[in-house]
Chain A
Amino acid sequence: MAEPTMADAPGPESAEFDAVVVGAGPAGSAAALALARAGRSVVMVERGPFPGSKNVYGGVVYGRVLDAIIPNWWEDVPVERWVVRRSTMMMTESQSLSIDYRTGAWGTAPYNGMTTVRSRFDTWLAAKATEAGARLLTSTVATGLLRDGDGRVVGVRTDRDHAELRSRVVVACDGVNSFLAKEAGLLPQSEASHYTLGVKEVLSLPREVIDERFGVQGHEGVDIEILGCTRGIPGGGFLYTNTDTVSVGVVASLPHLAEARIRPEELIADLKEHPSIAPYLRGSSLREYAAHLIPEGGYDTMPPLATDGMMLAGDSAAMTLAAGMWLEGVNFAIASGYAAGQAVDRAVASGDCTASGLASYRADLERQFVLVDHKRLRKAPALVLSDRVQQRYPGLLCDLAEGMFTVVNPAPKPGGLRVTRNAAAKHGVKLRELAADTLRGLRIFG
């Protein structure tokens, strides 16, 4: 053996797997878990050195989806803090108005949501898949699709000596930039308007300081979602607690960000200096800075979920819910990945791995929250990212609160209607528009 590698050996690369899952994030690991449990041969191809190493998220993993997949998952999940306080904050440069909800019920099993660190959470979930019999191939990029004479996807090419991995089905869980979905023609090459950029700073603070400032103890945590902190660029901000760090970040619509010629880190700097946020972060030191794209187009921009020999799950299928009140993604990734794995199992059993053989995937998701939520909230991204909601309503609501709560005596208190009219006029909002948007919001969210 002159070169001590196995490149020439007839290794498993010539063998055919039932499925190749590209990406070992939440969607990929869930898909591999479902397949391994069904006794199918499956390999996960992960481009990072470990699962989660390329992944960033914005706050909370909602665990209800795990109940059916991993019983008592909360006993060994790598949690940072269980979210018991959830706050939605609207802000202007100097004001803020919060809706703050807190319940002890979220702090005990079966829990509602948790903050975690993706490098640990994704590794944990991938380990569930490998324990069930899936194989994990790290530090390997799936560079392209293999197709047979009829154009069906029959595997992927990897960047290890351009070697091929053949499979009956490819489950592309390769994230927001999914080059495989683009190659298959399922996603457009580049459509900036469907994406937002999230940037995040992880800041170190002693655990006791976090407990004190956020009013929590033990494993309790806080998640704050913020509107109106992005200089009018459609988007939002977030602040949430980990064990001994806090994560603060902003999300901004890509085309608007580019047009505004504002650097993303300036938006974070603004948010960190805001009088409502700065006291939480005082004395902290930067632990990590990260950036990631988010598919926020919603239901109407979702690509087809399957083609012959291939299907999409998680971010590559644009399955994140960015609808103001709800900001979710990891749970949709897990649910869609698991459903994809089950659909592949059924397709392999029936011998039909074409698009029609894989169609049970979409049907399944339409029965589940995954597509039901997305469909119901299909118009939410447009409303939440609209000019009025982004630029005028936060200021309007803050001024309303200011008008109501500022004590102006000896002048008599102004009536509610007058305060509203004044605030609306100041922010260029017609009451008719306000009523229309309220109605629109009720239709979408109600």
Chain B
Amino acid sequence: MNDPRFTHVGPLVVACLRITDLRPEVDPLTGAVARDAQGNGLSAADAAALELSLRIAGVWSGRVVALAVGPPAIDPVLRDVAALGVTVLRVSPETVDPDRGYAAELADDEQRLARTIVASLVPYGPPDLIVCGDRSTDRGTGALPAFLAHQLGAVQALGLVALTPDDTVTGGGRALIAERRLDAGWRERLGVPLPAVCSVEGAGVRLRRASLGGALTAAAAPVPVNGISPADRPEREEAIPAVRIGPTRVFEPRARVLPAPESTDPRVRLLALTGALVAHDPPTVIGPVGPSEAADELMAFLVRHGYLDPTDPEQAGTSGKGTGR
């Protein structure tokens, strides 16, 4: 076979994109959402996913396949992606579910969507890395990367701000180093083995521009639509039950019944109801202190208010262990 799709050279990096109208118009009265194909584009997160895919594949001398589920209206955006020298693939939503059009792409059944995507990638060989944006602009749940990882038996690292090849790995192996935000400006650094599914934030990188030659070539080229036959179309798999969302309602906590104040004097009743003259401990601000001091303060507070008995040997034992929790 001369089809370049099937000659797998080097690792395969897949950028899994969600192309949609970035500025849909919402009718303020009815809430109806009007999508315009001309607003179609890559979200910042998807652009970052594509750029990181290109960079990683560049270091690894690998290939990039960019994939998106959607109608033919997203082809112009995929053509712009193809101009970067990327193999593109559009998965038709009918493949996911022929009976339901647009909704089937969405949160509705992302497990099934993930299986369709994995099945569509079969002709390209097993992916070593799938990079997604960490959120879609049109109400996705953000669960697709996890489902993809499950389908592929790959590890997952989600919501990343940086993703680079791990150049300390030797002996022909490959791995990635990922960074994720923590509070207070801290980052956690993760070692990610392959195969992996990663989702990245739309921050820190800008998608490169295609060369003139690439853009000219792509402008005239058709966008391939996935060719998996209906027989290969994944059916609903009952063995792994999908999460179903039942009818929802507003959370209404049950009212707590308090005994009525006993006095007949309205002023006393009012005071009793509001607790105006009852002494309260003012809130105490402790710190900043280290974890162990904070734990000791908490324990002392509980002892002071009679929740803990320091003489009870069993309870006293937990006080020592509890520091790290």
- CB within 8 Å of B: which residues of A? 1-7, 9, 11-13, 43, 49-50, 53, 119-120, 123, 135-140, 158, 160-161, 163-165, 285, 287
- B58/A13 in contact, CB under 8 A: no
A285 / chain B contacts, CB cutoff of 8 Å: 28
Contact of A9 among B25, B41, B54, B213 (CB under 8 A): B213
Chain A CB within 8 A of B57 CB: yes
**How distant is A244 from chain B, measured CB to nearest CB, in Å?**
10
A438→B107 CA distance, assembly (Å): 69
Contact of A11 among B41, B64, B86, B216 (CB under 8 A): B216
Q: B211's closest neighbor in chain A, by CB?
A: A7
Q: Can you pick out 27 interface pairs between chain A and chain B where the beta carbons lie within 8 Å of each other?
A: A1-B58, A1-B85, A4-B57, A5-B84, A5-B211, A6-B214, A7-B211, A9-B213, A13-B211, A13-B216, A50-B38, A50-B76, A53-B38, A120-B38, A135-B219, A137-B212, A137-B215, A137-B216, A137-B219, A140-B212, A160-B209, A160-B210, A160-B212, A161-B209, A161-B211, A164-B212, A287-B25
Which of chain B's residues 194-217 have a Cβ closer than 8 Å to chain A? 208-217
A165 / chain B contacts, CB cutoff of 8 Å: 212
**How distant is B34 from chain A, measured CB to nearest CB, in Å?**
10
A161→B220 CA distance, assembly (Å): 20
- B85/A5 in contact, CB under 8 A: yes
**How distant is B113 from chain A, measured CB to nearest CB, in Å?**
26
- B216/A12 in contact, CB under 8 A: yes
A139 / chain B contacts, CB cutoff of 8 Å: 80, 209, 215
A140→B211 CA distance, assembly (Å): 10
List the 10 closest pairs (A to B, CB-CB), nearest first: A11-B213, A163-B212, A6-B214, A7-B211, A160-B212, A4-B85, A12-B216, A13-B212, A6-B213, A13-B213
Q: A158's closest neighbor in chain B, by CB?
A: B212
Since A11-B211, A50-B76 are in contact, a sample of 4 more A-B pairs with Cβ atoms closer than 8 Å, ordered by chain A residue number, is: A5-B208, A49-B41, A137-B215, A160-B211
Which residue, of B63, B85, B212, B213, has the highest number of chain A Cβ atoms within 10 A?
B212
Chain A CB within 8 A of B61 CB: yes
A302→B175 CA distance, assembly (Å): 63
**How distant is B290 from chain A, measured CB to nearest CB, in Å?**
48
B25 / chain A contacts, CB cutoff of 8 Å: 287
Q: A17's closest neighbor in chain B, by CB?
A: B216
**How distant is B100 from chain A, measured CB to nearest CB, in Å?**
28
A12 / chain B contacts, CB cutoff of 8 Å: 213, 216-217
Q: B60's closest neighbor in chain A, by CB?
A: A2
Which of chain B's residues 54-112 have a Cβ closer than 8 Å to chain A? 54, 57-58, 61, 63-64, 76, 80, 83-86
A12→B212 CA distance, assembly (Å): 8
If the complex has contacts A2-B58, A160-B209, are A7 and B216 also in contact, measured as CB distance less than 8 A?
no
**How distant is B1 from chain A, measured CB to nearest CB, in Å?**
20
A5 / chain B contacts, CB cutoff of 8 Å: 84-85, 208, 210-211, 214
**How distant is B105 from chain A, measured CB to nearest CB, in Å?**
23
A7→B216 CA distance, assembly (Å): 11
- B215/A140 in contact, CB under 8 A: yes
A13 / chain B contacts, CB cutoff of 8 Å: 211-213, 216
Q: A163's closest neighbor in chain B, by CB?
A: B212
**How distant is B11 from chain A, measured CB to nearest CB, in Å?**
13
**How distant is B55 from chain A, measured CB to nearest CB, in Å?**
9
If the complex has contacts A43-B216, A119-B38, are A4 and B84 also in contact, measured as CB distance less than 8 A?
yes
Which residue, of B38, B64, B86, B208, has the highest number of chain A Cβ atoms within 10 A?
B38
**How distant is A283 from chain B, measured CB to nearest CB, in Å?**
12
Contact of A135 among B61, B84, B208, B220 (CB under 8 A): B220
- A4/B212 in contact, CB under 8 A: no
Contact of B215 among A1, A4, A160 (CB under 8 A): A160
If the complex has contacts A4-B54, A4-B84, A50-B38, are A135 and B64 also in contact, measured as CB distance less than 8 A?
no
A120 / chain B contacts, CB cutoff of 8 Å: 38
**How distant is A43 from chain B, measured CB to nearest CB, in Å?**
7
Which of chain B's residues 210-252 have a Cβ closer than 8 Å to chain A? 210-217, 219-220
Q: B53's closest neighbor in chain A, by CB?
A: A4
A288→B5 CA distance, assembly (Å): 44
- B58/A4 in contact, CB under 8 A: yes
If the complex has contacts A123-B38, A135-B219, are A161 and B212 also in contact, measured as CB distance less than 8 A?
yes
B58 / chain A contacts, CB cutoff of 8 Å: 1-4
- B219/A4 in contact, CB under 8 A: no
Which residue, of B54, B61, B210, B214, has the highest number of chain A Cβ atoms within 10 A?
B214
Contact of A4 among B38, B41, B86 (CB under 8 A): B86
A6 / chain B contacts, CB cutoff of 8 Å: 83, 85, 210-211, 213-214, 217
B208 / chain A contacts, CB cutoff of 8 Å: 5
**How distant is A52 from chain B, measured CB to nearest CB, in Å?**
8
**How distant is A125 from chain B, measured CB to nearest CB, in Å?**
14
